[in-house]
Amino acid sequence: MPRQYEEDEARRPILQPDTDTDEPTGTGSGRSLTRHGRPSDDDELAERLTGCGASACCNPSSFLHRFQALILMCLVGFGSYFCYDNPGALQDTFKSDLNLTTTQFVMLYSIYSWPNVILCFIGGFLMDRVFGIRLGTIIYMFILLIGQLIFAMGATINLFWLMIVGRFMFGIGAESLAVAQNSYAVLWFKGKELNMVFGLQLSFARVGSTVNFLVMVPIYKYVKSLGYQGHMCTGVVLLLATLTCVMSMICALILGWMDRRAARILKRNDSAPGGEVAKLSDVRTFQVSFWMVTVICVAYYVAIFPFIALGKVFFMRKFDFSSEDANTVNSIVYIIAAVASPLFGLIVDRTGRNVLWVFLSVLVTIVAHGMLAFSYLNPYIGMITMGLAYSMLASSLWPLVALIVPEYQLGTAYGICQSVQNLGLAVISMISGMIVDKGGYFMLEMFFIGWLIVSLLATIVIWMYDASNDGILNMSPAARSLYANKTLPRMSGEPGSSSDMTDSQQERERRAKDPEAIRNRYVNRVLDGNQSDTEPLAE
């Protein structure tokens, strides 16, 4: 017969250690047992785990073990970000060795984004509904690896169409892999840790991009010194870059094993809460604030990634930098993000008010682009400012999705964000190349500033919509905790609550299955940190 759990035990987060004391759990019908009357789940777990398995580094309930999983989550995306900007780091050599125009060069970035306009959303949905996080991560990582190999072979034999096919496959895997990373983060880390985790993930990803910009030119020169010339030299360099994807694939396999082990030991319920499953029709229940987040994903990031892709020549022309110096200043955004993202994540964890941080991030980015466009100040100033703003936004924007959308829909929601973002990047990257060819870099900066203003307006819409509702997206941590405590009895339909006294049983059941009620239960779970993942959201 299944064991009956006490209320406080059933609501304990599955990935956090037991911090309860041996005190009575309260009075009531059948609830007068104490903790030392019988062992808790964690006591039983300690009895089952022996030797290394019971140590902090191997026990899935310990912070050290979860931190090890976090490192692997970060390394899973390292190869993707390293290889994504391979063309950007070698922009001048790509165009000379492969005889590419600026428009053709930019196509290497836009073709990365085009398939993910649809497939990234489908990839998130398949991960929610079919593959699961573990298998989905491995499949998407494998597609990414094959795409990078085809891209490198296309450069080796100087076939531009084969390079396009490789980047197409690479994009399918990379963006769906980003959805898997976000879902892993929400699965293993909840509550006050989530902003820091997203910041650390971004930090490691940008380390990949930064290392790419710093090492690709020296690697190219070394390969060239071995006797390789022209497109053959470029192809060999890209094949060497593929080794980072192999490393990420190994990390994905290890992370999948760790997650499966944690689910088994902790008896984690990986099925959809309350029997709910993700459906394509769920998008109709997403709030205005979620759709404004997707607008920001497009309008903000199109002013960052296409600029960095084309920035090397910009710094060489306007500031008369050498190729190596231009690469260095162009990678400053990623270097700053690698250091500042986890720090800003901790700050947002402490202060809350995510929407305010997003607003400040967009505003500061507009100032940074203005300095680069309208002045001849040292470009390091503008790029450092942009890097700080970029880190601030990533640490505060992406966790908003976990507060807006129920957990069983997160893969779909993050897939939509990535899909819409890729639509914007695909279109804007092509337009950016044409603007550079016809109007120059000053007009390109004006184009980017216009998109940042759109992002600023979307942030204001989120702020106003959230303020007119529960206001939870811009609350401090203390206010969110108070909100969770106040709404928990009403949302859970406990006896004695006001809804229990005023509504009929059928009405309570109808409201319990309402998407808004399910979302509120999920918000309580994320913010309160006192509920179990096995407790159903829908009754």
Q: What structural domains does the chain harbor?
A: 61-266 (1.20.1250.20), 285-476 (1.20.1250.20)
Reported confidence tier of residue 210, pLDDT bands at 50, 70, 90 = confident
DSSP conformation letters of 299-359: HHHTTTHHHHHHHHHHHHHHS---HHHHHHHHTHHHHHHHHHHHHHHHHHHHH--HHHHHH
**Highest averaged pLDDT of the listed ranges 73-82, 142-151, 221-230:** 142-151
**Which one is predicted more confidently, 7 or 351?**
351
Q: Is the pLDDT of residue 363 over 80?
A: yes
- What the block records as the tokens of 355 is 């929407």
Question: How many Cβ atoms sit within 10 Å of the Cβ of residue 1?
Answer: 3
In this predicted structure, the answer to whether residue 118 has a pLDDT above a threshold of 80 is no
Q: Using CA atoms in the order 191, 195, 196, 202, what is the torsion angle rounded to 10 degrees?
A: 140
- Of the two residues 515 and 374, the one the predictor is more confident about is 374
Average pLDDT, integer, range 244-270:
83
Mean per-residue pLDDT, 139-159: 91
Give mean pLDDT, residues 63-90. 84
Contact 272, 406 (CB under 8 A): no
The answer to whether residue 51 scores a pLDDT higher than 70 is no
**% residues pLDDT > 70 (the chain):** 72
Q: What is the mean pLDDT of residues 211-216?
A: 86
CB 25 within 8 A of CB 7: yes
Question: CA-CA-CA-CA torsion for 500, 501, 503, 504, nearest 10 degrees?
Answer: 90
pLDDT tens sequence across 473-501:
888 777 777 877 776 555 445 444 444 44
Residue 350 clears pLDDT 90, i.e. is over it: no
Report, as an integer, the average pLDDT of 347-351.
Answer: 84
Which DSSP string do the residues of 404-436 spell out, in sequence order?
HS-GGGHHHHHHHHHHHHHHHHHHHHHHHHHHH
Confidence of residue 211 (pLDDT cuts 50, 70, 90): confident
Q: Are 141 and 76 in contact (CB under 8 A)?
A: yes
User: Among 7-11, 350-354, 359-363, which is the least confidently predicted range?
Assistant: 7-11
Q: Which of 111-120, 283-292, 390-399, 416-425 has the lowest mean pLDDT?
A: 111-120
Q: Which residue has the higher pLDDT, 536 or 348?
A: 348
Which structure tokens are listed for 60?
Answer: 């899935």
| Confidence band of 35 (pLDDT split at 50, 70, 90) | very low
| Res 4: pLDDT | 46
**Mind listing the pLDDT tens digit for each residue in 326-346?**
888 888 887 887 788 778 878
φ and ψ of 34, to 5 deg: -110, 170
**pLDDT level of residue 512 (50, 70, 90 thresholds):** very low
Model's pTM, two decimal places? 0.60
CA dihedral defined by 272, 275, 279, 284, rounded to 10 degrees? -100
149: its two tokens: 């190999």
Q: Are 322 and 499 in contact (CB under 8 A)?
A: no
What number of other Cβ atoms are within 10 A of residue 131's Cβ?
18
Residue indicated by tokens 């008010």:
353
Calculate the average pLDDT of the chain. 75
- In this predicted structure, the answer to whether residue 468 has a pLDDT above a threshold of 60 is yes
Q: How far is CA 130 from CA 133, 168, 327, 418, 496, in A?
A: 9, 23, 42, 19, 40
Per-residue pLDDT band for 243 (boundaries 50, 70, 90) equals very high
404-454 pLDDT tens trace: 877 667 767 777 787 788 788 878 888 888 888 888 888 989 999 999 999
**Is the confidence at residue 3, as pLDDT, over 50?**
no
pLDDT band, very low/low/confident/very high, at 529 (cuts 50, 70, 90): very low
Decide if pLDDT at 1 tops 70: no
Range from 18-22, 108-112, 449-453 that averages highest in pLDDT: 449-453
8: pLDDT confidence band, cut at 50, 70 and 90?
very low
Contact in structure between 151 and 95 (CB atoms under 8 Å): no
Q: Percentage helix, strand, coil, to 5, in the chain?
A: 80, 0, 20
264-278, pLDDT tens digit by residue? 777 766 554 444 555
Q: What is the pLDDT of residue 383?
A: 93
What band does 41 get if pLDDT is binned at 50, 70 and 90? very low
pLDDT at 148 over 90: yes
Q: Would you state the pLDDT for residue 213?
A: 83
> What confidence score (pLDDT) does residue 32 get?
39
The token duo for 458 is 């979307």
Cα dist from 66 to 7, 95, 268, 527, whole Å: 25, 44, 14, 19
- In single-letter form, the type of residue at position 17 comes to P
* Angle, in degrees to the nearest 10, between helices 332-351 and 323-330: 10
Q: Residue 384: pLDDT above 70?
A: yes
Two structure tokens written together for 150: 């085809």
